[in-house]
Structure 1
Amino acid sequence: MTYTGKVTVGGTPHVRELADLIITKVAVGPMSNNAYVLRCRHTDEQLLVDAANDADTLLEVVGEAGLSTVVTTHRHGDHWQALAAVVAATGASTVAGADDAEEIGVPIDVVVTDGEEISVGRSRLQVIHLVGHTPGSIALLFDDPDGMPHLFTGDSLFPGGVGKTGSHDDFVTLLGDVEHKVFDQLPDETWFYPGHGDDSTLGAERPHLAQWRERGW
């Protein structure tokens, strides 16, 4: 199956095979959250981005290889409803942004800040702290040495715009972070994987930056 990034709750997960990582995307829960299982092709170590809901489905995707780490992209409850059950079943360690960790309803083992790295087997994911959707939201960048960069954005960036914020000041902060830390640093071919809905590329979204700023929040 050719990877498209289009998944539905109860539907078939989509799998993308890279030289070093295998990425499996699945939609779960009443808010159709995306969860991503990253597996190192060299060691079979696995990392889950957002144990959002439906632990049984997530554990089925994880399979017998087990799970070493669960990263929660931000504090909002729809992104960690299955975290306790997944951790209980797998013994995985929990990771979240430093400014959101205390608001997540499951103990966080490792707090991370901007520029730190998280390992999944032989691959490294760079933490990008994006303030605005929540104070401690993080994105994860896998800069594939054999291809384009891959960016897991949580609810900070979607096709069509940045994520929702609670105030105009938060919107300005989030858009500024996304512009300076993402669009100014990464090439157009960067593929990003959001917390809900379809994937996109930075190149497809870059022309809309000025429009997002003009629209406000």
Structure 2
Amino acid sequence: MTEAGKLIFDSATVSVRSLAVSEMENNVYLITAKSDGRQVLIDAADEFERINTFVLAAAGEDGAGALREQGDPRIEALITTHSHWDHIRALPTAVATYSPATYCGAADAPSILEQEDVQVAHLLQGGETLTFGDITLEVISLRGHTPGSIALVYQEPEDDGTPVLLFTGDSLFPGGVGKTDTPADFKQLLNDVRERIFSVFDDNTVVLPGHGQHTTLGADRGNLDEWEARGW
């Protein structure tokens, strides 16, 4: 793996890369547009210096480096999937360095403000379409891991059979949904994952979670009843 992290997806439109940071092995995701080098960062979890190196190196490797000055990242947006401490430790420095538009689920904004003193500018309810040049993301609310947890959907502009990408934070992993604190929260999260993820997207859809390896919806579609029965 290079300083530009792990290349997960590469098309004529964008590249998607990941970097694991901190003792929690949090996945930080970076979407870079090929046309103009603008970038979207998902979850500024920790170790900002590594993230900054990652951002610059990804732009250079993806051929967008000539469109920016060295040391001048074009982070258009910084999106936080949820408010847990391990996903937001680098958020204040990233916001101060890049001056991006900031986004999170509306119900998680107070917790982010309390923990890291960052007032997120754009509060999401789910159902929004976020467009940053050639990068378009759909927002899905997945309640339960935290009240304001969100997932982000990326699809290529043209339907060429390329798999859909789902950035699911800690709401969906290979083998189950994310941790919840109460049976009611678990039921809410599993219902949202069933109705808003598995009932909408096909088996080839790629799940990019907040920790660990990616998977596909097809790998777990047959396991939802088992998840419900075991209660986690």
TM-score, normalised relative to structure 2: 0.86
Q: How many equivalent pairs are there?
A: 209
CA apart distance, 1:163: 0.2
| Alpha carbons 1:38, 1:120 under 8 Å: kept | no
Which segment is superposed worse, 179-188 or 117-126? 117-126
1:70 corresponds in structure 2 to 78
The one-character-per-residue Cα deviations of 1:87-124 (angstroms, maximum 9, x if unpaired) are 11111121101111111021101111111012232221
Corresponding residue SS for 1:68: strand
Equivalent positions of 1:1-217 (< 5 A) are: 13-15=5-7, 16-63=9-56, 64-104=72-112, 105=116, 106-144=118-156, 145=158, 146=160, 147-217=162-232
1:4 corresponds in structure 2 to none
More helix by share: 2
CA separation in 2, counterparts of 1:179 and 1:171? 12
Alpha-carbon RMSD across the aligned residues, in angstroms, is 1.5
Which segment is superposed worse, 79-88 or 57-66? 57-66
Structure 1: gaps (5+ residues): 1-6
| Alpha carbons 2:15, 2:32 under 8 Å: kept | yes
- Amino acid of the structure 1 residue aligned with 2:131: S
CA separation in 1, counterparts of 2:139 and 2:76? 17
Structure 2: gaps (5+ residues): 57-71
Return structure 1 stretches of 4+ with deviation > 4 angstroms.
none
CA separation in 1, counterparts of 2:12 and 2:123? 29
| Alpha carbons 2:3, 2:54 under 8 Å: kept | no
CA apart distance, 1:65: 3.7
| Alpha carbons 1:74, 1:154 under 8 Å: kept | yes
CA separation in 1, counterparts of 2:221 and 2:3? 30
CA apart distance, 1:143: 1.9
The one-character-per-residue Cα deviations of 1:142-192 (angstroms, maximum 9, x if unpaired) are 122331110000000000100000001100110000000000000100001
CA apart distance, 1:76: 0.5
Which one has a bigger Cα radius of gyration?
2
| Alpha carbons 1:53, 1:78 under 8 Å: kept | yes
Corresponding residue SS for 1:99: helix
